[in-house]
Amino acid sequence: MSAIGAALVVVAPVLHRVGVLPLGPALLAVPVGILVSLIALLLAAMVLIGGRPMPAGRNVVRGAALASAVTGLLPVILALPGLRAPAIHDITTDTDSPPQFEAVVALRANAPNSLEYGGAEVAAMQQEGYPDLDTLVVGIAPAQLVDHARDVAADMGWQVVAADASAGRLEASDTTFWFGFTDDIVVRARQTAGGTEVDVRSVSRVGVGDLGANARRIRVFLERLAVASS
């Protein structure tokens, strides 16, 4: 049973990522696999604690319990914070005038989610869920900021699609590890009297919500960019 749970939780997303399994069945397989793994973990714990005869040996049961804990408990623990995230997939530090994509548009031709911002409703949901996200102000020129942004993006494993220092713009894509979902990011740098205002927008190509992934991405990026630009 533990092997079945592990296969559903681990293998299904991999098969989707390589294009073998459609998204719907892959998404369905994961919670089913988690449930199977939790049941297997409970049964293994009952056997180990109850001291019942184990023809396969205690080490085999311990191994099954460990595997079931990894594929049953770990995904739940990792997903819990994201379950409280608002059901939106378009996050930006400037909800009044979100940075606009240019180079990435062609790459999203077949994406279910559009790049048209959802307006006041999405902005209100973001403010409630992520009140800390805001414009970053740094004391360097926009062109230099874009150079730093490119370096930070590369360090975070993003694929830089376009970087225009003169226009104060960087666009990139980031692919998630598990399912291979692709999210797109645009960084906008604008000259102000006090230096440069930096706004970031991160948009998922699929999914109604993102379990907080876009907000986390922006938050980490701005933290690293602030250090690099200090």
C-alpha torsion sign, points 215, 105, 181, 148:
negative
* Residue 215 contacts residue 129 (beta carbons within 8 Å): yes
Cα angle: 224, vertex 78, 118; to 5 degrees:
65
- Report the pLDDT value the prediction gives residue 74, as an integer from 0 to 100: 80
Domain finish residue from 29, 61, 83: 83
215 and 183 in a single domain? The answer is yes
The boundaries of the domain holding residue 15 are 2-83
Helix (H) or strand (E) holding 112: none
**C-alpha distances out from residue 200 to 9, 27, 58, Å:** 33, 29, 53
50 and 126 in a single domain? The answer is no
- Report the pLDDT value the prediction gives residue 35, as an integer from 0 to 100: 87
95 and 202 in a single domain? The answer is yes
- Report the pLDDT value the prediction gives residue 55, as an integer from 0 to 100: 55
65 and 127 in a single domain? The answer is no
77 and 134 in a single domain? The answer is no
120 and 71 in a single domain? The answer is no
- Report the pLDDT value the prediction gives residue 32, as an integer from 0 to 100: 87
Over the chain (230 residues), the average pLDDT of each successive run of 10 is: 78 77 80 84 77 60 77 78 86 98 95 95 96 96 97 97 96 88 96 93 94 96 96
Tally of domains within the chain? 2
Overall pTM > 0.85: no
CATH number at residue 140: 3.30.530.50
30 and 67 in a single domain? The answer is yes
Strand extents, DSSP E, 90-216 = 90-92, 136-138, 159-164, 169-175, 182-192, 195-204
- Report the pLDDT value the prediction gives residue 218, as an integer from 0 to 100: 98
Number of neighbours of residue 198 by Cβ within 10 angstroms: 27
68 and 101 in a single domain? The answer is no
